[in-house]
């Protein structure tokens, strides 16, 4: 049986069951209403006969002297009054004649013996015990049907006449079930006919609607075929798979099965496309993250769908908040950059390396290119726009860093040779100075003072030369994945004594999760320690030193901000030069060494300073691959248990 036929049959059966249940409930409700109507009519008759009985007793015993203590005399007087009352007897006859369901009527005493009855054989006889007609009011439909259409039975509707707490008479009306069946049969037949017709109509409608509902499946099948032809490759393994599936589904004449197979094939192909798209997106994100220029791609309705990581530097907004937003939501007209971009979008004007100066004095080149569909037959249709933000100052800073690196390399090559050439004469001078000291006697005591000065200066010169040689010596990095939070904490612990002596308060801001980088822990601690101590020494009267560690998708940034006097603009380009210092007693090697160490880690150093407000050094180094979750978990566990770096000499 075809799936479509099965579904239509299932719908038809479900409709049949629902209609049958509703019809049964309707039939039961109607039957219950007829029982209640019959009971109500019989109860009204009983009340009318009760009233007539009371009147007959009062009228018949009004002039009769009755001994209340003699029950037989009382019964005889009541019986005579009832039997001689013409109105009461006429009422009993009319009830039997005109009530279709009443079988008999009797008026009995308190013991159940008949005073008066429509059945002459029951006169002064005990009336038979019968079930109460009111019990049918709460019976189920099946019970009512069994009573009405079952063996003939008689039910009583009884109403007593009480006087001074004693029942002197009771009206009993017998209702025969055969009379009820004769009364109920016409409307039951009509109801049954109506129910059968309703069920037949419902079945016909359900079959028609079921077939009508499945007609669009053929249209869906044709559209799926058209979609498959547009997207399916002509050949190759994927094409063979699709062709195999098509042949399988073609063997079946069931349209529903064919549509199911086609949807399954499209689902598999969409999954493959999604995997390819995800891989392309990851590669594109990786390429964009390496770009120094900010790049934003907009759709036809000016909504950002592609944003490089560098855009965050230009706009100061998180990349996730930019994606999906429109141009008016991203760029504010109150800013120079926002105003020029908004005006270009509003007018549809392209920008070619438009150089602007932002509110912070930063020079940015803005390029905006609108993308059109040249295949449109009449006019070019706009597809979107590409916005590029280029930082001119960053290029200059990179050129300055390259120049500084070349200068340091040249100094290193020069000092490596000079150092060895100077060390040999110094060693010879030291030896001959010691020989001269041994040859001198007590008479030459004034000359010893000059020899001591010469020796001290030679030792100082030797230390300078040794420092120069050490700085120029090639460094072999011992790189390991480390948590930079531990490096920061270790450096602050080392510098705590001097910081406390200089009345410097440290604010250490590190993230709650591990920041992993591949570094040489010893060298990185030396570089960070130099900057921390410089910051502390810059605050002569004490102050606050803020150390902050942050991380993005590419870089880990260590910021050390002091509240010292700041660095003048004319001095700032020279601070990383070897032997350059503005401190009394400074060597001029610390910052140069820090700069060299950060460069060895493929990082860079940024300096921001305002005279009179303080200086901020930012050391940026590449972070480890974000996929190394296992290593991050181990390092976080070590940090939680207080485990220190294994390479720390003080551990």
Q: Which residues of 349-377 are buried (b: 16+ CB within 10 A; e: fewer)?
A: eebeeeebeeeeebebbbbbebeeeeeee
Q: Same domain for 237 and 302?
A: no
Q: What is the pLDDT of residues 576-598, one digit of tens each?
A: 876 677 776 666 778 888 888 88
Q: Report the C-alpha gap between 187 and 175 in whole angstroms.
A: 19
Number of domains forming the structure of the chain? 4
* Assigned domain for 558 exists: yes
* 382 φ/ψ angles, rounded to the nearest 5 degrees: -70, 130
Q: What is the pLDDT of residues 442-467, one digit of tens each?
A: 666 677 777 777 877 787 677 667 66
Whether the pLDDT of residue 428 is over 70: the answer is yes
Q: Same domain for 197 and 226?
A: no
Q: Same domain for 458 and 491?
A: no
Q: What is the pLDDT of residues 178-188, one digit of tens each?
A: 777 777 778 77
Tokens encoding 139: 């019976």
* Assigned domain for 223 exists: yes
Q: Among 111-115, 406-410, 443-447, whose mean pLDDT is lowest? A: 406-410
Q: Among 53-62, 456-465, 627-636, whose mean pLDDT is lowest? A: 627-636
CA 65, 71, 72, 77 dihedral sign is positive
pLDDT at 644 (0 to 100): 43
Q: Same domain for 569 and 512?
A: yes
**Full 3-state SS string of 18-61:** HHHHHHHHHHHHHHHHHHHHHHHHHHHHHHHHHHHHHHHHHHHC
Edge-to-edge strands of the sheet including 543-551? Answer: 504-509, 543-551, 555-561, 614-622, 604-610
Q: Which range scores top for mean pLDDT: 390-399, 416-425, 560-569?
A: 560-569
* Assigned domain for 469 exists: yes
Q: Report the C-alpha gap between 22 and 16 in whole angstroms.
A: 10
Q: Same domain for 298 and 275?
A: no
Q: Which of 444, 474, 504 is the last residue of a domain?
A: 474
Q: Report the C-alpha gap between 460 and 585 in whole angstroms.
A: 13
Q: Same domain for 463 and 485?
A: no
* Assigned domain for 627 exists: yes
Distance of CA 650 to the CA centre of its chain: 47
Local confidence band at 629 (pLDDT 50, 70, 90 cut-offs): very low
* Assigned domain for 302 exists: yes
Three-state secondary structure call for residue 561: strand
Q: Same domain for 178 and 303?
A: no
Edge-to-edge strands of the sheet including 102-108? Answer: 114-117, 102-108, 166-176, 154-163
Q: Same domain for 452 and 511?
A: no
The DSSP code for 134 is G
| Neighbouring-strand partners of residue 381 | 373
pTM score: 0.40
Q: Same domain for 225 and 326?
A: no
Query: Greater confidence, 168 or 392?
Result: 168
Q: Which of 170, 201, 232 is the last residue of a domain?
A: 201
Measured CA to CA in angstroms, residue 168 lies from 62, 79, 160, 161, 246 at distances of 16, 11, 8, 6, 94
Q: What is the pLDDT of residues 3-38, one digit of tens each?
A: 667 777 777 788 888 888 888 888 888 888 888 888
Q: Among 122-136, 247-261, 495-509, whose mean pLDDT is lowest? A: 247-261
The proportion of the chain whose per-residue pLDDT surpasses 90, expressed as a percent, equals: 7
Q: What is the pLDDT of residues 285-325, one digit of tens each?
A: 666 666 677 888 898 888 888 888 778 878 888 888 888 88
pLDDT at 492 (0 to 100): 92
* 546 φ/ψ angles, rounded to the nearest 5 degrees: -105, 120
Whether the pLDDT of residue 236 is over 50: the answer is no
The domain that holds 457 is classified in CATH as 3.30.450.20
Q: Report the C-alpha gap between 8 and 15 in whole angstroms.
A: 11
The domain that holds 62 is classified in CATH as 3.30.450
Q: Report the C-alpha gap between 41 and 345 in whole angstroms.
A: 88
Q: Average of pLDDT values for 199-208?
A: 81
Q: What is the pLDDT of residues 315-360, one digit of tens each?
A: 888 888 888 888 888 888 888 888 888 888 888 888 888 888 888 7
Local confidence band at 251 (pLDDT 50, 70, 90 cut-offs): very low
Task: List, in sequence order, every beta strand (DSSP E) within 83-231.
Answer: 102-108, 114-117, 154-163, 166-176
Q: Same domain for 558 and 537?
A: yes
Contact 499, 545 (CB under 8 A): yes
Helices 237-250 and 255-289 cross at an angle (nearest 10°) of 160
* Assigned domain for 650 exists: no
Contact 167, 160 (CB under 8 A): yes
**Full 3-state SS string of 229-269:** HHHCCCCCHHHHHHHHHHHHHHCCCCHHHHHHHHHHHHHHH
Q: Report the C-alpha gap between 459 and 67 in whole angstroms.
A: 157
Tokens encoding 235: 């050949």
pLDDT at 241 (0 to 100): 40
Q: Same domain for 258 and 272?
A: yes
Tokens encoding 32: 């219950």
* Assigned domain for 339 exists: yes
Print the domain residue range for 276: 217-286
Local confidence band at 234 (pLDDT 50, 70, 90 cut-offs): very low
Q: Average of pLDDT values for 165-173?
A: 84
Contact 356, 336 (CB under 8 A): yes
Q: Which of 443, 474, 505 is the last residue of a domain?
A: 474
| Neighbouring-strand partners of residue 167 | 162
Q: Same domain for 235 and 341?
A: no
Query: Greater confidence, 278 or 595?
Result: 595
How many Cα atoms occupy the beta-carbon half-sphere of 187 within 13 Å? 14
* Assigned domain for 649 exists: no
Measured CA to CA in angstroms, residue 615 lies from 258, 278, 536, 568 at distances of 72, 43, 11, 10
Whether the pLDDT of residue 213 is over 60: the answer is yes
């Amino acid at each position: 049986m075809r799936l479509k036929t099965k579904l239509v049959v299932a719908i038809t059966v479900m409709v049949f069951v629902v209609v049958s249940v509703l019809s049964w409930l309707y039939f039961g409700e109607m039957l219950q209403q007829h029982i209640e109507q019959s009971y109500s009519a019989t109860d009204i008759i009983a009340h009318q006969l009760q009233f007539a009985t009371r009147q007959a007793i009062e009228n018949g015993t009004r002039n009769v002297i009755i001994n209340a203590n003699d029950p037989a005399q009382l019964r005889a007087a009541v019986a005579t009054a009832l039997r001689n009352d013409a109105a009461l007897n006429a009422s009993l006859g009319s009830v039997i004649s005109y009530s279709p369901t009443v079988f008999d009527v009797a008026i009995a005493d308190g013991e159940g013996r008949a005073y008066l009855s429509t059945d002459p054989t029951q006169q002064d006889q005990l009336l038979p015990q019968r079930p109460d007609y009111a019990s049918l009011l709460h019976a189920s439909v099946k019970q009512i049907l069994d009573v009405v259409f079952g063996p003939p039975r008689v039910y009583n509707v009884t109403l007593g006449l009480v006087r001074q707490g004693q029942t002197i008479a009771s009206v009993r009306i017998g209702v025969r079930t055969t009379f009820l069946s004769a009364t109920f049969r016409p409307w039951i037949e009509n109801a049954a006919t109506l129910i059968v017709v309703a069920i037949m109509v419902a079945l016909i409608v359900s079959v028609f609607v079921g077939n009508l509902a499945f007609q669009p499946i053929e249209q869906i099948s044709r559209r799926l075929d058209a979609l498959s032809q547009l997207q399916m490759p002509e050949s190759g393994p994927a094409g063979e798979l699709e062709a195999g599936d098509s042949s399988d589904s073609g063997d079946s004449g069931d349209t529903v099965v064919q549509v199911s197979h086609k949807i399954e094939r499209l689902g598999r192909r969409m999954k493959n496309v999604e995997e390819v798209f995800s891989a392309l997106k990851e590669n594109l994100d990786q390429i964009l993250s390496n770009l120094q220029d900010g790049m934003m791609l907009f759709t036809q309705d000016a909504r950002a769908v592609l944003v490089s990581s560098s855009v965050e530097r230009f706009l100061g907004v998180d990349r996730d908040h930019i994606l999906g937003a429109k141009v008016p939501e991203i760029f504010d007209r109150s800013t120079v950059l926002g105003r020029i971009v908004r005006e270009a979008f509003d007018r549809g004007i392209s920008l070619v390396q438009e150089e602007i100066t932002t509110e912070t004095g930063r020079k940015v080149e803005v390029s905006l290119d609108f993308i059109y569909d040249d295949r449109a037959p009449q006019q070019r249709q706009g597809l979107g726009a590409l916005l590029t933000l280029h930082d001119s100052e960053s290029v200059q800073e990179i050129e300055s860093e390259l120049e500084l690196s070349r200068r340091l390399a040249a100094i290193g090559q020069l000092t490596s040779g000079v150092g060895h050439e100077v060390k040999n004469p110094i060693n010879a001078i030291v030896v001959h100075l010691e020989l001269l000291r041994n040859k001198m006697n007590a008479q030459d005591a004034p000359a010893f003072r000059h020899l001591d000065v010469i020796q001290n200066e030679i030792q100082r010169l030797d230390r300078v030369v040794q420092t120069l040689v050490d700085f120029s010596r090639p460094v072999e990095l011992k790189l390991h994945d480390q948590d930079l939070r531990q490096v920061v904490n270790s450096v602050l612990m080392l510098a705590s004594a001097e910081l406390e002596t200089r009345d410097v308060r440290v604010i250490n801001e590190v993230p709650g999760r591990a920041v992993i980088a591949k570094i040489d822990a010893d060298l990185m601690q030396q570089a960070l320690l130099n900057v921390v101590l410089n910051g502390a020494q810059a605050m002569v009267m004490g102050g606050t030193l803020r150390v902050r560690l942050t991380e993005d998708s590419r870089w880990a940034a260590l910021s050390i901000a002091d509240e010292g006097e700041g660095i003048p603009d004319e001095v700032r380009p020279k601070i990383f030069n070897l032997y350059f210092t503005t401190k009394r007693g400074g060597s001029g090697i610390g910052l140069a060494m820090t700069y060299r160490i950060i460069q060895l880690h493929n990082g860079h150093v940024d300096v921001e300073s305002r005279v009179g407000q303080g200086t901020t050094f930012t050391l940026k180094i590449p972070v480890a691959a974000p996929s190394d979750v296992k290593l991050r978990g181990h390092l976080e566990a070590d940090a939680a248990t207080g485990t220190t770096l294994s390479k720390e000499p003080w551990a």
